Chains A and B, each alone.
Chain A
Amino acid sequence: MKIAIAALGVALSVTMPSAISHAQTKIGAIFDLTGGLNIYGIQQNNALNLAVERINAAGGVNGEPVAVIGYDAQSELSKYTQYANTAVLRDGIAAMFAGLTSSSREAIRPIFRKANIPYFYSSLYEGGACDKQTFVTGSSASQQLSVLMKWAVENYGKRIYIMAPDYNFGTISGHWIHEYAAQNGAEVVGEDYLALSVTDYAPTIQKIQAAKPDFVVALPVGANQTGFLEQFAAAGLKEDIGVVSTNYGSGNQQVVVSPAAGEGLIASMGYFPSVDSPANAEFIELWQAKYGNDTPIVAGAVDVWNAVHLWAAAANKAGSTDPDAVIAALESGLTFNAPNGNVTLEPGSHHLRQDIYIAEGDANHGFRIVQTYPGSAPTYENEKCDLIASPDTAEHFTPENE
């Protein structure tokens, strides 16, 4: 009995404040604010708060201010499920914005599916997530690689070497590199998949020299793997062999890499701070006013910014935050004038049609955009995933399982 009373007390103390401040819409956020992944998580969280501020300044959602209930996942998978459950059971959130790694998304996706709460995943990733409640605002591997591979084969040649991390982002990206190599009449002459803990790149660099590629597709994860790029340049290989990437810069690796190694590297992503548009200028101004200009803004931050605005637009359009109405509005072909160009939420696949940029590292730790592929479709996701026709699909499609 004592326990029951104590539990009631806790329950009351938890629910009371929210009962008083009734007229607000709550959204949840789980990002890695501490631990090894905070290189991404802090900026994702900053972008969320900035977007909410902007929406609230413009009158909120359906006339109610938006309040954020945020959690720090500490770069640990178990924290994601724990906080996702807390957010669903206790906080009464209208939408959730969370996750960086694919494993974190796959861990919490079922929780929001069961609770029927729209869940936004905002990071570039290997692609293929398909779920009625899940919306992906980052670019997928096939979306980026389809344009990057075409560009690289035209500019460097037909012999390709793959250096990728040894988990699903790397191996699925590897699959797409093979596929787009074949489409562009090129061949993969060698590949090496590295554990995330690897700091010894000498073996990879020798194998690259033995294979004599025209360019290397390098997908280093985090700042540690940028050691590869330093050694590659110091060995004098940069003169003859191009380096292209779909994630170089996603964690501001270009800041860590010295100009000697970083100049001339090619990255393809859905956002670079050097995008020239009024929407991006406004976004950067807001960001720097609040967070300063020490660190360049990463693509993942813009993906979160876009997710929050798309959700707010959908909730306004639906006139409520009722999950079914919001999901229906999200599936109505919403567009948003985003910092990275106009984006369109594809109704069937819940992925974004967005501009993909190819940029070249400059001598000042930054990027110069060399080519823009406007309105690139998430082709693979659109082909596999149609949540209008079959709303019960809950899958993570991978090209290797076919």
Chain B
Amino acid sequence: MEPDYLATVLLSSLSSASILLIATLGLAVVYGLMGVINLAHGEFLMVGAYSALTATQIGIPYVLAIPVAVMITMLIGGVVEVLVVRRLYGRLFDTMLATWGLGMVFNQGAVLLFGTVSPGIGMPQYSIRIGEFSLAAYPLAMIAVAAGTLAFVYLLLTRTVYGMKARASIQEPEMAQAIGIDSSRINMLTFAIGTGLAGFAGAVLLPIIPATPSMGLFFAVKGFLTVVVAGPVALTGTALTAVGLGGGASVTASFMTSVIGDVFFFLATALLLWLYPLGISSKWRRKL
């Protein structure tokens, strides 16, 4: 095996894992901090993608379209929390069913609003060369974006007043309420941050994954499994799982076939859940 091929495989697998991590982080935050599995997460990603796309179409530069998409998805997420999710706390399966249905509504809503196909914005035409191989630069940039997003969420949850309140509300809800934390407001904010992260993912991945009404489906399964395998330690667990599963699948696909890459992903998931039914982080002592 030539060293240049090996280097490209490692780099691009890391970028694949980063893409999975970016797409999953919002789901992990909502699950880790609220115990809610948001099955409409993929559709929030889609909403983010269409928001960014529409913003660029009306002349906003792409870099500024990303925060626009985050704001729109946060707003919708907040409304969904108040109207739907709030009424179903503690009822895991009911929440899953409700958010699943919500996803269908979003999906069809996108068809009615945008039609079945919209022009993509394309990928920046930059590439880097390693020996005989050439790699598209934008997907590689996602490694830095994933690291940055992870650091941002970590700092948000550990170094801000909101973060402390959010963790208090989920770890000791009664005590938190007793000392005057408005846990329902905090939960609304947490859900909005989760959907905002989905919107960010949809917007920042738009050059790689074009906006289509059904694009959420493609992330729903893998994102969901990643979060379940990660377990209760939302951030570190998800980052580790995304690199292990996503990166592993990509490396496998590079040396064998894409189908075997997928097989690796699902077999590894099954094996890990068999070994750690509550997720790989269930016995860790850290909290995030």
B-binding residues in A (CB < 8 A): 34-36, 38-39, 42, 166, 192-195, 197-200, 202-207, 209-210, 222-224, 226-227, 230-231, 233-237, 251-253, 255-261, 294-295, 365
Q: Is the CB of A206 within 8 A of B5?
A: yes
Q: Could you say which of B7-15, B30-38, B231-239 contacts chain A?
A: B7-15
Q: Is the CB of B12 within 8 A of A236?
A: no
For chain B, residues 196 to 216, give those with C-beta under 8 angstroms from any C-beta of chain A: 207-210, 212-215
Given known A-B contacts A39-B116, A193-B257, A204-B258, A235 and B127 have beta carbons under 8 A apart: yes
For chain B, residues 254 to 270, give those with C-beta under 8 angstroms from any C-beta of chain A: 254, 257-259, 261-262
Nearest-CB residue, chain A, relative to B9: A206
Given known A-B contacts A202-B15, A260-B122, A294 and B115 have beta carbons under 8 A apart: yes
Check B76 for interface membership: any CB of A closer than 8 A: no
Nearest-CB residue, chain B, relative to A294: B115
State in angstroms the CA–CA spacing of A210 and B5 once bound together: 8
Nearest-CB residue, chain B, relative to A34: B108
User: Which residues of the partner chain A approach B115 to less than 8 Å between Cβ atoms?
Assistant: 294-295
Given known A-B contacts A193-B259, A194-B259, A295-B116, A206 and B122 have beta carbons under 8 A apart: no
In the complex, besides A210-B133, A227-B208, A231-B123, 7 extra interface pairs with C-beta distance below 8 angstroms are A193-B258, A193-B259, A202-B12, A205-B136, A209-B133, A251-B116, A251-B117
Q: Is the CB of B262 within 8 A of A231?
A: no
State in angstroms the CA–CA spacing of A213 and B207 once bound together: 26
Check B218 for interface membership: any CB of A closer than 8 A: yes
For chain B, residues 108 to 131, give those with C-beta under 8 angstroms from any C-beta of chain A: 108, 111, 115-127
Q: Is the CB of B124 within 8 A of A224?
A: no
Which size bracket describes the interface of B in this complex? Answer: 35 or more
Check B217 for interface membership: any CB of A closer than 8 A: yes
Q: Is the CB of B221 within 8 A of A203?
A: no
User: Which residues of the partner chain A approach B262 to less than 8 Å between Cβ atoms?
Assistant: 195, 197-198
- Can you report 26 residue pairs joining A to B where beta carbons are below 8 Å apart? A36-B213, A39-B116, A166-B258, A166-B259, A192-B257, A193-B257, A194-B258, A197-B221, A199-B219, A200-B16, A200-B261, A202-B13, A203-B12, A203-B253, A209-B133, A210-B5, A224-B214, A227-B208, A231-B208, A233-B125, A235-B127, A255-B119, A256-B117, A257-B120, A258-B121, A261-B122
Nearest-CB residue, chain A, relative to B214: A36
Nearest-CB residue, chain A, relative to B120: A256
User: Which residues of the partner chain A approach B215 to less than 8 Å between Cβ atoms?
Assistant: 223-224
Select the residue from B134, B250, B258 with max chain A CB neighbours within 10 A. Answer: B258
Nearest-CB residue, chain B, relative to A204: B258
Q: Is the CB of B123 within 8 A of A258?
A: yes
Q: Is the CB of B217 within 8 A of A223?
A: no
Check B139 for interface membership: any CB of A closer than 8 A: yes
Q: Is the CB of B209 within 8 A of A227?
A: yes
Check B276 for interface membership: any CB of A closer than 8 A: no
User: Which residues of the partner chain A approach B135 to less than 8 Å between Cβ atoms?
Assistant: 202, 235
User: Which residues of the partner chain A approach B12 to less than 8 Å between Cβ atoms?
Assistant: 202-203, 205-206
Q: What's the minimum C-beta distance from B110 to chain A, rounded to whole angstroms?
A: 11
State in angstroms the CA–CA spacing of A202 and B127 once bound together: 13
Q: Is the CB of B124 within 8 A of A38?
A: no
For chain B, residues 217 to 245, give those with C-beta under 8 angstroms from any C-beta of chain A: 217-219, 221-222
Q: What's the minimum C-beta distance from A188 to chain B, rounded to whole angstroms?
A: 14
Check B249 for interface membership: any CB of A closer than 8 A: yes
Which single member of B13, B212, B254, B258 contacts A198 (CB below 8 Å)?
Answer: B258
User: Which residues of the partner chain A approach B107 to less than 8 Å between Cβ atoms?
Assistant: 35
Q: Is the CB of B123 within 8 A of A255?
A: no
State in angstroms the CA–CA spacing of A251 and B116 once bound together: 9
Select the residue from B134, B217, B222, B249 with max chain A CB neighbours within 10 A. Answer: B134
Q: What's the minimum C-beta distance from A249 to chain B, rounded to whole angstroms?
A: 11
Which single member of A199, A202, A209, A255 contacts B132 (CB below 8 Å)?
Answer: A209
Q: Is the CB of A233 within 8 A of B253?
A: no
State in angstroms the CA–CA spacing of A252 and B217 once bound together: 20
User: Which residues of the partner chain B approach A257 to less than 8 Å between Cβ atoms?
Assistant: 120, 122, 210
Q: Is the CB of B254 within 8 A of A206?
A: yes
Q: Is the CB of A222 within 8 A of B122?
A: no
Select the residue from B209, B217, B253 with max chain A CB neighbours within 10 A. Answer: B253
State in angstroms the CA–CA spacing of A375 and B15 once bound together: 47
Which single member of B117, B138, B212, B261 contacts A234 (CB below 8 Å)?
Answer: B138
Q: Is the CB of B212 within 8 A of A256?
A: yes
State in angstroms the CA–CA spacing of A38 and B115 once bound together: 10
Given known A-B contacts A36-B214, A227-B210, A252-B117, A200 and B122 have beta carbons under 8 A apart: no
State in angstroms the CA–CA spacing of A139 and B115 once bound together: 26
Check B19 for interface membership: any CB of A closer than 8 A: yes
Nearest-CB residue, chain B, relative to A197: B218
Q: Is the CB of A206 within 8 A of B8?
A: yes
Check B88 for interface membership: any CB of A closer than 8 A: no
Check B137 for interface membership: any CB of A closer than 8 A: yes
Q: What's the minimum C-beta distance from B69 to chain A, rounded to whole angstroms?
A: 18
Q: Is the CB of B111 within 8 A of A34?
A: yes
Nearest-CB residue, chain A, relative to B262: A195
State in angstroms the CA–CA spacing of A346 and B70 once bound together: 56
State in angstroms the CA–CA spacing of A206 and B119 once bound together: 27
Q: Is the CB of B210 within 8 A of A223?
A: yes
Q: Is the CB of A199 within 8 A of B134?
A: no
Q: Is the CB of B111 within 8 A of A38?
A: yes
